[in-house]
Structure 1
Amino acid sequence: MPTPSSTGTIDFVFRGETFQTAFKVFGDLKSKGRPLIALHGGPGIMHQYILPLAELAASQGMPVIFYDQIGCGASSKATTHPDLENKPAEFWTAELFMAELDTVLAYFKVGGDYDLYGHSWGGMLAANYVISRNPQGLRRLVLSDAPASMELWAVGTNALLAEFPADFRAMLKKHEDAGTTDSAEYQQGIQEFNEKHLCTVKPWPADLVSAFADLEKDATVYSTMIGPSEFNITGTLKEWNVVDDLGRIHVPTLLINGRYDDAQDVAVVPFFEKIPRVKWVQFAESSHMPFFEEKERYLKVLGDFLSGEN
């Protein structure tokens, strides 16, 4: 793994309160390479698991900026910033994270010329940001393993769940109905699902394990925005949907998903149908983490797109 060229924290002011956003930069921001801002998923799963993208700094000469979104990793979260534990659910919305992205762009002074990458929830955030902000300095957009709406995400994940045995599905539903999704049985079931549709690499890469361990320590963001189950979204993202606004994304866009992805085609296809300048690449041997499952090809596809060679 490459060594970051800089790390630190940024003061993020939101509605009069100051929080800390932790960042990590790979490559030289003073070089001629256009910087890539990388948005992790979750919500609330720290940037550690998308670090394979750091290799683009060396292979493509583009600096890559990672940061932990508020509520996870080394940024302000409930375990280190007690006030966050008591925030009402409506605090944890896309607007919060778009404001944080504004702050990151301003801090690094790259808002006039940059590319934006989002994985899973990060892709949702990226799409939402481009639609809402119409950023003039954005050159290229990557939406990786992300849905265009949470309703379509649930359609896809439930279709995948239907391929599991009836008793397995009944067990999950039993715990969801009873509010016992923290039980060992339910968590083991989710792990079985994830090993087929989140990451098929065995054992899971250390960076992915670390990111999920951080989530387990403080799941405030995920539980508030998603809920206890990804098959039945009950959190603040339940109604999230940008399908009708996708025509407002005008930059060249790379759309990615895996054949066995949580983000099934039904959830991804609106991006392809409605974004005017879009290319869709599906990874046939991957689920939700093609940067682990087909790393070499993934970075090649990403690098070619961002460098304008393809």
Structure 2
Amino acid sequence: MSSLEVGSQTLPVTTGTMPFRGHETWYRVTGALDPDGAADGPAPLVVLHGGPGAAHNYTLAMTALAGDGRAVVHYDQLGCGLSTHLPDADPSFWTVELFVAELRALVVHLGIADRFHLLGQSWGGMLGPEVVLSDDSGILSLSICDSPASMPLWLQAANELRDELPADVQATLLAHEAAGTTDSAEYHAAEQVFYDRHVCRVVPNPPEVTASFDQIDAEPTVYHAMNGPSEFHVIGSLKEWSVVDRVAGIAVPTLVVAGAYDEAKPIVWQPFVDQIPDVRSHVFPESSHMPHVEEPEAFTEVVGTFLREHDHPTPEGRA
């Protein structure tokens, strides 16, 4: 066990692994899970990282949400980070259902399945609604951060933002995508122009953000199988993914957030706001795709307030 300074507090940090379908899922808990042995304190928060396959590192700023006494759970989804890597897995292995089942197994393993908040960032905010729609038992609230309700909407937004890039950058991207040379240094340099505008505007990126990007470069199996070579060149199994026609079935209180310069433009998350019965939204004015990194204090305030408001279910069973 180690510790972490969060505000004026020193919080315990524990790590471990969970067996899952013959493999291991790594997790980290900041703070104490149910420290008083009762369900009257702040409920734990489980963070679903993006990618797919980006690992937890770039979301570590969200440990600030443990400052009000709740435990914050990070984990690396199967196939990335400190969890089991499966570089030889058939692409069909990597499914939404796999990751829904992994999350459910984790909250059972940690003993929090009866009471927890769920937050998903980017791909994690696509996975979060799938978890809730599959089984919302024990989930007090859902936070969807910088995420699309469908991949076709995501691609529409990405193409609009690409059209705003310098002409030479656009030409470089198109040439390498057509040639299948998206692993070239020239492509990555052009890609970085988009990323600096719409993914993380803190340049150079903080070490934890760089760690997640480096992790994808070193182990791109899941990202390439489900997404593709870049944020805006999606050719993987998620290309046609959509939850638009199902989001009205989300019955837990939901917060939708994004950045004003986000690659997740309003068109991609508007279906959540339009159709989820109990929903609110917030746009961070100085952020792109990582408000938790770009405006960390504001992010902690907005999300933390929402979590506190829904720590305790109403008599009808919802927070």
1:93 paired residue number = 95
1:81 paired residue number = none
Q: Is the 8 A contact 1:35 1:62 kept in 2?
A: yes
Aligned residues with identical type, % of pairs: 44
Report the Cα distance in structure 2 between the residues aligned to 1:4 and 1:201, rounded to whole angstroms: 28
Post-superposition Cα deviations, 1:10-40, rounded to whole Å, max 9, x if no partner, equal: 1012xxxx11000000011023320100010
Report the Cα distance in structure 2 between the residues aligned to 1:115 and 1:191, rounded to whole angstroms: 33
Counterpart residue type for residue 96 of structure 2: A
2:111 paired residue number = 109
1:266 paired residue number = 267
Post-superposition Cα deviations, 1:195-218, rounded to whole Å, max 9, x if no partner, equal: 110000122111101111111111
Matches within 5 A, 1:219-298: 219-298=220-299
Report the Cα distance in structure 2 between the residues aligned to 1:202 and 1:194, rounded to whole angstroms: 10
1:8 aligns with 2:16: yes
* Structure with greater helix share of residues: 1
Deviation at residue 229 of structure 1 after TM alignment: 3.4
Q: Is the 8 A contact 2:87 2:219 kept in 1?
A: no
Deviation at residue 186 of structure 1 after TM alignment: 0.3
Q: Is the 8 A contact 1:72 1:218 kept in 2?
A: yes
1:24 paired residue number = 28
Q: Determine helix, strand or coil for the equivalent of 2:181.
A: coil
Report the Cα distance in structure 2 between the residues aligned to 1:242 and 1:267, rounded to whole angstroms: 11
Report the Cα distance in structure 2 between the residues aligned to 1:306 and 1:229, rounded to whole angstroms: 32
Q: With structure 2 as the length reference, what TM-score do the two structures score? A: 0.91
Deviation at residue 165 of structure 1 after TM alignment: 2.1
Report the Cα distance in structure 2 between the residues aligned to 1:171 and 1:217, rounded to whole angstroms: 23
Q: Is the 8 A contact 2:13 2:30 kept in 1?
A: yes
Matches within 5 A, 1:109-188: 109-133=111-135, 135-188=136-189
1:61 paired residue number = 69
Q: Is the 8 A contact 2:260 2:286 kept in 1?
A: yes
Q: Determine helix, strand or coil for the equivalent of 1:86.
A: coil
Deviation at residue 93 of structure 1 after TM alignment: 1.1
Report the Cα distance in structure 1 between the residues aligned to 2:310 and 2:130, rounded to whole angstroms: 27
Q: Determine helix, strand or coil for the equivalent of 2:246.
A: helix
Counterpart residue type for residue 91 of structure 2: A
1:76 paired residue number = 84
RMSD value over aligned CA atoms?
1.4
Unaligned runs of 5+ in 2: 6-10, 36-40, 312-319
Report the Cα distance in structure 2 between the residues aligned to 1:198 and 1:5, rounded to whole angstroms: 28
1:44 aligns with 2:61: no
Aligned length: 298
Deviation at residue 194 of structure 1 after TM alignment: 0.2
TM superposition outliers: structure 1 runs of 4+ over 3 Å: 1-4
Counterpart residue type for residue 28 of structure 1: A
1:4–1:239 distance in 2 versus 1, CA, 3 Å: farther
Deviation at residue 188 of structure 1 after TM alignment: 0.4
Post-superposition Cα deviations, 1:254-277, rounded to whole Å, max 9, x if no partner, equal: 000111101111101000001011
Report the Cα distance in structure 1 between the residues aligned to 2:231 and 2:30, rounded to whole angstroms: 32
241-250 or 300-309, larger mean C-alpha shift: 300-309
Deviation at residue 5 of structure 1 after TM alignment: 2.4
Counterpart residue type for residue 22 of structure 1: W
Q: Determine helix, strand or coil for the equivalent of 1:291.
A: helix
Deviation at residue 232 of structure 1 after TM alignment: 3.4
1:4–1:174 distance in 2 versus 1, CA, 3 Å: farther
Deviation at residue 309 of structure 1 after TM alignment: 8.0
1:262–1:97 distance in 2 versus 1, CA, 3 Å: same
Deviation at residue 4 of structure 1 after TM alignment: 4.7
